[in-house]
């Protein structure tokens, strides 16, 4: 009986030591799937499809283009500002029919609009639209505005995206 107890105790100690692991401060992370590109053409090659988006947006002089291989393209348009709170407009196009915006905020206002024959869902708060999402064919689209904008402004961006 003593031998069995000693063996069981030894097994428990081995498992408890195996469960202990070195704390590296959470430095292990999933690799970033986004690749940066200088031109939209190069991003389209990587994604495997085209995105017709505005070359520039008034008030947002800086542009950053990224893609995930065979999956999605996104373009950040950034306002010229100092500090951490820079207003951005983010346009995304991805394969499939799911919401690809990455915006999981709860909005008080949700409406439907029609743009270029597509049903577009717009969401926001206090009369400002922060998100527009829609599907067309085999692709999903989103336009996110960090500081919110007038509905007409967001819908004009949606209209420019094909």
Task: Tell me whether residue 22 is in a domain.
Answer: no
Written as tens digits, the pLDDT of the chain (162 aa) is 555 545 455 555 565 555 555 555 666 778 899 999 999 999 999 999 999 999 999 999 999 999 999 999 999 999 987 666 789 999 999 999 999 999 999 999 999 999 999 999 999 999 999 999 999 999 999 999 998 999 999 999 999 997
Q: Say how many domains are in the chain.
A: 1
- Counting Cα atoms < 13 Å in the Cβ hemisphere of 57 gives 26
Task: Tell me whether residue 54 is in a domain.
Answer: yes
Containing structural domain, residue 40: 35-160
What pLDDT shows up at residue 22?
55
Sole residue written with tokens 């869902």: 121
* Residue 10 in tokens: 């030894």
Task: Tell me whether residue 138 is in a domain.
Answer: yes
What pLDDT shows up at residue 30?
84
Task: Tell me whether residue 78 is in a domain.
Answer: yes
Q: Kindly give, in sequence order, each residue whose CB lies less than 8 Å from that of residue 116, ignoring residues fewer than 6 positions away.
A: 136, 158, 159, 162
Regarding beta strands 62-68 and 35-37, do their DSSP bridges make them parallel or antiparallel, or are they unpaired?
antiparallel
Angstrom distance (rounded) from CA 140 to CA 62: 24
Task: Tell me whether residue 30 is in a domain.
Answer: no
Helix (H) or strand (E) holding 111: strand 109-115
Task: Tell me whether residue 131 is in a domain.
Answer: yes
Task: Tell me whether residue 3 is in a domain.
Answer: no
* Residue 36 in tokens: 């940066």
């Amino acid at each position: 009986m003593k031998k069995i107890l000693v063996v069981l105790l030894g097994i428990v100690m081995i498992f408890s030591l195996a469960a202990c692991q070195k704390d590296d401060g959470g430095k292990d992370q999933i690799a970033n799937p986004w690749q940066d590109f200088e031109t939209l053409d190069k991003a389209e090659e990587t994604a495997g499809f085209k995105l017709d988006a505005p070359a520039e947006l008034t008030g947002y002089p800086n542009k950053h283009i990224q893609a995930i291989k065979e999956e999605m393209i996104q373009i950040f348009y950034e306002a010229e500002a100092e500090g951490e709170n820079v207003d951005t407009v983010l346009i995304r196009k991805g394969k499939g029919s799911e919401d690809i915006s990455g915006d999981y905020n709860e909005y008080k206002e949700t409406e439907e609009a029609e743009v270029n024959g597509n049903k577009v869902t717009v969401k926001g708060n206090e009369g400002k639209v922060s998100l527009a999402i829609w599907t067309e064919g085999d692709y999903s689209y989103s336009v996110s505005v960090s500081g919110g904008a007038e509905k007409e402004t967001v819908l004009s961006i949606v209209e420019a995206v094909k």
